[in-house]
Amino acid sequence: MIIQNTKAIMFDVYGTLFDVHSVIDECKKHFPEKGKSISEVWRKKQLEYSFLRGLMGNYRPFWSITKDALRFACKSENVELTGTIEEALLGSYLKLKPYGEAEGVLEKLKGHQLAVFSNGSEDMLHPLIEHYSLQTHFDYLISVNGIRQFKPQPSSYLYALEHLGVERHEVLFLSSNTWDIAGAKTFGFKVVWVNRSGDVMDEFGIQPDHIIGDLTGLLD
């Protein structure tokens, strides 16, 4: 059983509990022909900027990075990002759609210590999770903003662990992001890769403890 010998279950947010590409609808509303490409570049640059800022030691909160990534995406797709459109698109990030099974799985995990751990800053995480009234399922909403070190830096996972009050091997961490899986596994967490798209694991020489197609696999 996946959750056996586990004292805390911790979830990544973007791509794991919530669909980052649900912003496509808002993108298409303003840029009908380029909504999909803007969404893809936006997410790609959002991650790239967080990694690069971590390497440079030049931290900025994820909300600021998300805004910079959106501006780059629109420039690269040669569309005009007005202040009104920017506000609307950023607002859509605070209302990303949760995956259909997410709430039901969280409900069935009642009684376990549950947490989210995200690169997202508090001003992103709290509005998003509270918009769908999911906050009652979690004991902790943990943001790397408290330590100003993005995942997958080991110090960020240590920061999350300190909130939970358990040992590394007693944490089960779920993410859809292979770089996050590799970082958490290297740190010492048990990890579950939520592989919704049938992707292959990156060549880090690291394998997840479990692979599931969606969150319901956690209950099997």
Query: What is the pTM assigned to this prediction?
Result: 0.95
pLDDT single digits (tens) 125-138: 999 999 999 999 99
User: What is the number of residues in the chain?
Assistant: 220
**Banded pLDDT at 220 (limits 50, 70, 90):** confident
- Mean pLDDT over 183-198 rounds to 97
Residue intervals of the chain classified under CATH 1.10.150.240 are 21-93
Residue range 200-209: mean pLDDT, rounded: 96
pLDDT digits 0-9 by tens, 10-40: 999 999 999 999 999 999 999 999 999 999 9
Arithmetic mean of pLDDT, 159-180: 97
What gap in Å lies between CA 159 and CA 190, rounded to an integer? 16
**pLDDT tens, 44-95?**
999 999 999 999 999 999 999 999 999 999 999 999 999 999 999 999 999 9
User: What is the C-alpha separation between 48 and 45, in angstroms, rounded?
Assistant: 5
pLDDT band at 105 (very low <50, low <70, confident <90, very high): very high
Q: pLDDT averaged over the chain?
A: 96
**What is the share, in percent, of the chain residues with pLDDT greater than 70?**
100
**Range list for CATH 3.40.50.1000 in the chain:** 8-17+99-219
User: Is 12 annotated in the active site?
Assistant: yes
Distance (Å, whole) CA 142 – CA 35: 31
- Interatomic CA distance for residues 107 and 90, integer angstroms: 29
Q: Which CATH number fits domain 21-93: 1.10.150.240, 3.40.1000.10, 2.40.110.10, 3.40.640.10?
A: 1.10.150.240
DSSP string, the chain: -TTTT-SEEEE--BTTTEEGGGGHHHHHHH-TTTHHHHHHHHHHHHHHHHHHHHHHT----HHHHHHHHHHHHHHHTT----HHHHHHHHHHHTTPEEPTTHHHHHHHTBTBEEEEEESS-HHHHHHHHHHTT-GGG-SEEEEGGGTT--TTSHHHHHHHHHHHTS-GGGEEEEES-HHHHHHHHHHT-EEEEE-TT-----SSS---SEEESSGGGGG-
**Residue the block writes with tokens 């579950």:** 192
pLDDT at 5: 85
Please determine, for residue 1, whether its predicted confidence score (pLDDT) is greater than 80: no
152-180: average pLDDT? 97
What's CA 26's distance to the chain center, in Å?
20
Catalytic residue among 12, 25, 123, 180: 12
Instruction: Decide if pLDDT at 2 tops 90.
Output: no
pLDDT score of 4: 81
Q: Does domain 8-17+99-219 have CATH number 3.20.20.80?
A: no
